[in-house]
Amino acid sequence: MNFQTGCFARRVLKTTAIPTQNLPKAGERDIEHMMKQKENRLKRLNRRRQIQEELVENETTMRTRRDNLEVTAELEAAATLMQFSVASSSHSQECKYPN
């Protein structure tokens, strides 16, 4: 390659090169990438925290429902026992004192 073609090639490269003033510098790109990673990590952590809170809330609700069902079952058993007891005592009264 002679001198003239070398100068021409350099001139063409300078004029056709991508303008770098609008592109971020390497350090800025690294910082932007790190910030984006940090933002995504925070989003994931917040989502995990939200899911964990929902699970605790659901567990509390289920525990309350189970406790309510147990209390209801105990009340129904007590009511049935009382009905049986009342029926049996009135039956024994009829046996002791027939009309």
Read off the pLDDT of residues 7-40 as tens digits, 9 standing for 90 and up. Answer: 556 555 555 555 555 656 667 778 888 899 999 9
Read off the pLDDT of residues 29-78 as tens digits, 9 standing for 90 and up. Answer: 788 888 999 999 999 999 999 999 999 999 999 999 999 999 999 999 88
Measuring CA to CA, how many Å separate 72 from each of 49, 59, 66, 67, 69? 34, 20, 10, 9, 5
Q: According to the model, what pLDDT value does residue 34 have?
A: 87
Q: According to the model, what pLDDT value does residue 65 have?
A: 92
pTM above 0.85, yes or no: no
Give dist(CA 64, CA 72) in Å, integer.
12
For the chain, the domains span 29-96
Q: According to the model, what pLDDT value does residue 42 have?
A: 95
Give dist(CA 77, CA 13) in Å, integer.
93
